[in-house]
Amino acid sequence: MTELDRSARRSAAGTLVLLRVVYAFNWYNVGAVLPLIGTGLNANTGQLGIVLGAFLVGAGVFQVPAGVIAMRWGYRTTSIFALLLMGLFSLASAFSPDWVTLAALRFGAGAGAAFFFAPALGLVSSYYPAGSRGPVIGIYNAGFSVGSGIGLFAGALIGAAFGWPWALAVGGIALLVVGAVGSVVLPPIPPGDVPPDWRSAWVAGKPLLKSRNLWALALGLSGMWTAFYVAAQYFVQFASTVHPEWPIALAAGIPTVMIVTEIFGGPIGGWLAERRTDLRRMLLVWTAATAVGVLFIPFLPLLALWPLFVFLGFAEGLIFAVLYLVPTYLPEAKDQNVALAIGLINSVQLFLGSLFAILYGVIAGGPGYDLAWIFTGAICAGMLPFLFLLNAPRTGSATYLVRGPAS
């Protein structure tokens, strides 16, 4: 691990958070101008859904390859490459002549996103020693909430003022700029034990893909991923259908509050995770509480939903901070393997979470939204038993030990 002084670490952390914010902007700026894209490209709702889904597919498919590549290239090089790749595809998206081309380019942007997130987290574990990286990971995750909020509002404003291509182009240009900044500001790190060729890198990574700890995290919290995705993406549609008397702006404000509150949950969760805490118990308790909260969504009045979504946002930030902290300490995910470990978790959760989210929509369109929310809460809680396969005891201020074999 690179020994950096406090000032250099803060500079590196600040740069990574900035990169994370711009990265997140390019997740949500498309959704902010989706109606304008539909009009401009003569695309219907189903076709626009494919545009949105193409990005998630790209982000999911390339998570594991990104981890393998990071083993060869290193976290820093892979992260900067990812921003440039995502920036080029995002900028090209602004010139799409039809929705098929846009979907293909968004798939490429999703691939770029896959190459950034886990390697950038690996940089945090390289710059910060054990016992001090939890809050930084929490702040890094909170950057996604900041960027997504900016993407929604600024993207909509830019699209309304100048047209949807500008909303996409601004995001792509910003990625290229911050990628260049990162290449200058982020300190290099020692390469460590770099596999001599790609075959060796894949062979070295295969045991990690069989890790019981990583699969326990990925499966046990896939329902949690679903719950937060559904709450953020479907609540306005639920409110407009079931409660048409609620003003649309008011209904949209409720999931926005959740996104904002996540900004505080991440750093606090990271700090708590380093204070001699049983991380598995922490994940179990907060995710179970999230499941109960989601179950209540269709049965609560408008005034009660505000504090519930404040809680859900705080819980989301806390849970994700702990989730991404654990792999940085597991013995099987040391050194250049952190990106592959986190990539595996992200890939499983993206695929399962997206599947569960689709089932939510099917249930909502059939039996109704009450059952759909109950299904989401049940999935959130029902996947939790997988966490009992996780060997993650209490953290310490300077060390982190894992009981039993890392199988």
Q: What is the DSSP string of 53-85?
A: HHHHHHHHHTHHHHHHHHHHH-HHHHHHHHHHH
Q: What number is the average pLDDT over the span 187-206?
A: 61
- More confident: 72 or 248: 72
Taking a C-beta distance cutoff of 8 angstroms, is the pair 212, 345 a contact? no
Question: Six-digit token pair at 8?
Answer: 């250099």
The conformational region for residue 131 under phi > 0 = left, psi -120 to 50 = alpha, else beta, is left
pLDDT (0 to 100) of residue 1: 44
Q: What is the separation of C-alpha 353 from the centre of its chain, rounded to a whole number of angstroms?
A: 12
pLDDT-derived band of residue 406, with 50, 70 and 90 as boundaries?
very low
Say yes or no to pLDDT of 401 above 50.
no
In percent, how much of the chain has pLDDT > 90? 32
Residue 394 DSSP SS3: strand
* Beta partners for residue 400, in sequence order: 395
Pick the CATH number of 204-407 from 1.20.1250.20, 3.40.50.620, 3.40.50.970, 3.50.50.60: 1.20.1250.20
Scanning 243-337, the segments in alpha helix (DSSP H) are 248-273, 279-296, 302-329
- Average confidence score pLDDT of the chain: 82
Question: Six-digit token pair at 262?
Answer: 């996540």
* Beta partners for residue 394, in sequence order: 278
Q: What number is the average pLDDT over the span 268-294?
A: 88
1-192 against 204-407: fold identical: yes
Question: Six-digit token pair at 201?
Answer: 């890198």
Q: Which of 381, 400, 258 is nearest to 330 (CA)?
A: 400
**What is the homologous superfamily of the domain 1-192 according to CATH?**
MFS general substrate transporter like domains (1.20.1250.20)
Fill in the DSSP letter of residue 366.
T
pLDDT (0 to 100) of residue 377: 96
* Beta partners for residue 278, in sequence order: 394
Q: How many CB atoms lie within 10 A of CB 197?
A: 9
Q: How many residues does the chain have?
A: 407
Residue 397 DSSP SS3: coil
Helix (H) or strand (E) holding 52: helix 45-61
User: Domain residues of the chain, as ranges?
Assistant: 1-192, 204-407
Fill in the DSSP letter of residue 386.
G
pLDDT tens digit sequence for 345-356: 888 888 888 788
Say yes or no to pLDDT of 402 above 70.
no
Residues 6+ apart with CB under 8 A from 225: 349, 350, 352, 353
The conformational region for residue 334 under phi > 0 = left, psi -120 to 50 = alpha, else beta, is beta
The pairs formed by 369-372 with CB atoms below 8 angstroms and a separation of 24 or more are 369/238, 369/241, 369/242, 369/298, 370/298, 370/299
